[in-house]
Amino acid sequence: MKNLGNIVAVMAAGIALTACGYRAALHASYIPEVTDSTLYEGVKPEYQQLAALMEKDTGIPPSTGNTVGFIPDGDHKLQLMLDDLQAASKAVYMDYYRICADSAGTIVLDLIKNKALSGLDIRVMVDRAAEIPKNLRALKKLPESGVLFNGFYKPVWVLDGLVPPAGTHRDHRKILMIDGTTAYIGGRNIQDKYFTSWRDADVRITGPAIEQIATVYMENQLRLNPMPKPLYVNPELKEAAAKDNVIGLTQFYGKTVQVVHDSPTDKRLPMRNLFEWAISHSKRYFWIYSPYTPPPKSTLNLLKEAAQRGVDVRWIVQGVSDVFMEEYIAEYMFRELLEAGVRIFKWNSGIMHAKQFMSDDYLMAIGSVNMDNLSFFLNYENEAVIYDEDITRHAAERFVEDLSTHCSEVSLEDIKRLNIFRKFRNWFFYTFGGPVG
């Protein structure tokens, strides 16, 4: 019943969105002009327009002097996270779509309960719709140890299917803050598969961007608690970032990061604006991991236009999806993208869950955002936008390695050879769960 409710809600939301006002692409008149380049120190002049656009949408400017570690491997992320949690002495703040009571989740929950009993400020938020009863039972015991726990939105599946998009508003963010000094942002939930068999990606950040992440965290906290205590943030963030040295993690110092967030009630659509600006301004390449589809038609058109003007556009999608109908919707899009010159690669090593793009050896975005309608229009999301050559090139090298090791390229001939039943199935799910105009 729960799975059926999910399917109905998503398809109904797709139909509702197609009929609502989220149809226009990012319009040039909305993009601010930058007349004073000193406002965005650490951002190249040709990217300052993006920084200004994201500040206009979210109120958060970029910050400099951050230390960033890129973490594509799950077992490494788990160990880093546990080490940081074990060393916590002041506060731990978690905002996750899902925290499971499996092996990894139990270790994390036991650790933060012990920290709360020791007097630390521990706060946990999850999306209730993403949790099975077993997980919720474990999470609801957290207050017994002094943890401030909140479940975000109680789903009513039949109603959610009949009256979208209220039932599809998910807290899809993944944020972990420790001692007001260190934060993790990425695509991983707290669950065994994200640290073992699934491919995902996160960044570990120290520095002034922590203040931005705290702002995003408190936004959701205020939705659930009218008068929460202020979050603890280290008053010496630049100094902490300069001294940060984690054995075994490749870290990049002095970097510029802008934290972007959005919500279903935000008509400014910062996530769609971020992706569409990056695609339309790419000159050499735009490479993306995005497991779930479809994006709005405006985004699809920009991908095609970029490829047609000579940009190397590559998209890694799931080969086998964990979400019903996802493969069908994606497959329906392939023909028009391939005909325009976009290169599509299927991930063949289990489930690919990373949400990340790189462009022109300078711009990288990583977080909870899929290039799809749910992330752009209906979910609570967060993203770290990184303006830097070194870390973008590092991530791009991993992308190329993934193409050769884990992926197979989809050809136009492959799509043309699909039988009529498969084509009809794909059309049906794309039409009723598909893109916005």
Q: Is the pLDDT of residue 397 over 90?
A: yes
pLDDT class of 434 with cuts at 50, 70, 90? low
CA-closest candidate to residue 356, choices 296, 315, 408, 307: 315
> Which residues are CB-contacts of 380 (< 8 A; sequence separation ≥ 6)?
152, 169, 170, 171, 172, 173, 220, 261, 262, 263, 264
Q: Is the pLDDT of residue 16 over 80?
A: no
The predicted structure's pLDDT at residue 2: 46
- Asked whether 357 and 364 are in contact (CB, 8 A), the reply is yes
Average pLDDT over residues 353-372: 97
Distance in angstroms (rounded) separating the CA atoms of residues 277 and 273: 6
Pairing type for strands 121-127 and 148-152 reads parallel
CA-closest candidate to residue 336, choices 408, 412, 410: 412
Q: Is the pLDDT of residue 36 over 90?
A: no
Average pLDDT over residues 318-347: 92
Share of the chain above pLDDT 90, in %: 73
Q: Is the pLDDT of residue 228 over 90?
A: no
Q: Is the pLDDT of residue 361 over 90?
A: yes
Q: In angstroms, what is the C-alpha Rg of the chain?
A: 21
Q: Is the pLDDT of residue 20 over 50?
A: no
Angle at 26 between CA 200 and CA 24, to 5 degrees: 105
Mean predicted lDDT score pLDDT of the chain: 90
Average pLDDT over residues 222-245: 93
Distance in angstroms (rounded) separating the CA atoms of residues 277 and 26: 8
Instruction: Give per-residue pLDDT as tens, 164-201.
Output: 445 567 899 999 999 999 999 999 999 999 999 999 99
The predicted structure's pLDDT at residue 170: 84
pLDDT-wise least confident of 231-245, 348-362, 412-426: 412-426
pLDDT class of 21 with cuts at 50, 70, 90? very low
Domains assigned to the chain: 2-433 (3.30.870.10)
